[in-house]
Structure 1
Amino acid sequence: MSKFQSIKLPKFVKNKFFIAAAAFVIWICFLDKINLMYQYQFRSEELKLEAQKAFFIKEIQQTKEEQQELLSSPEKQEKFAREKYLMKKDEEDLFIIVPSTTAKP
């Protein structure tokens, strides 16, 4: 007698419906084009994109608020131009101080 004939399998394992269901589950989980690994990667990518979407919506809202603030008064426009674009009046001198990137002992 071979060793495969001596192995006792439960009755339900020999059932053709169980074998078909097991083959279907293996096919869906591992062999199909859209298997479990693909679904996991797709879901993680979706979550990453949702986080980016929330970030950009927040940034857009903040930019709109800054725009409304700048358009509300000329003083704020002048302050913005001086800080961001280093603009100056004709009679002023502008000094830009840049911190050094190397540390000296």
Structure 2
Amino acid sequence: MIRLFNLFRNKYFLVALAFVVFMIFFDKNDLFSQYQYYQQVSKLKQERDFYQKETAKVYKDLNELDSNPKELEKFAREKYLMKKDNEDVFVIVQPKKD
């Protein structure tokens, strides 16, 4: 017990303890902020992976469209509802199920 009391009377220990408490709770980069930064980095990594996959998919589609005229025609008809002069296009909308 006396040894513990002497430890708390030591000015170096008190300064070190105050420094640690300040760094953990009151500093600009405290533990709570570090945790938030970690979560933000994780979220951004997930978004990066998603966008990399989407970019790869778009490049693959673009490559197919550049190399195959039938795919280009199919894409134009499906996405942009393009048609030939002697055709009619009917858009069928499925009703939503509630």
- Please report the TM-score for the alignment, with normalisation by the length of structure 2: 0.88
Structure-2 residue corresponding to 1:58: 53
Structure-1 residue corresponding to 2:35: 40
Alignment of 1:7-22 (within 5 A): 10=4, 11-22=6-17
Percent identity over paired residues = 43
Match of 1:86 among 76, 81, 90: 81
Match of 1:72 among 61, 67, 71: 67
- Structure 1 residue identity aligned to 2:45: E
Structure-2 residue corresponding to 1:99: 94
Provide the rounded CA distance (Å) in 1 between the counterparts of 2:42 and 2:75: 36
Give 5+ residue unaligned stretches, structure 2.
none
The 4+ residue runs of structure 1 with deviation greater than 6 A are none
SS of the residue aligned with 1:47? helix
Query: Which moves more between the two structures, 37-46 or 63-72?
Result: 37-46
Give 5+ residue unaligned stretches, structure 1.
1-7
Deviations 1:38-96 (A, max 9, x none): 11111111111111111111111110000000010111100111111111111112111
| Higher fraction of helix | 2
1:102 Cα offset (Å): 5.8
- Please report the TM-score for the alignment, with normalisation by the length of structure 1: 0.82
Aligned residues: 96
Structure-2 residue corresponding to 1:5: none
RMSD of aligned alpha carbons: 1.6
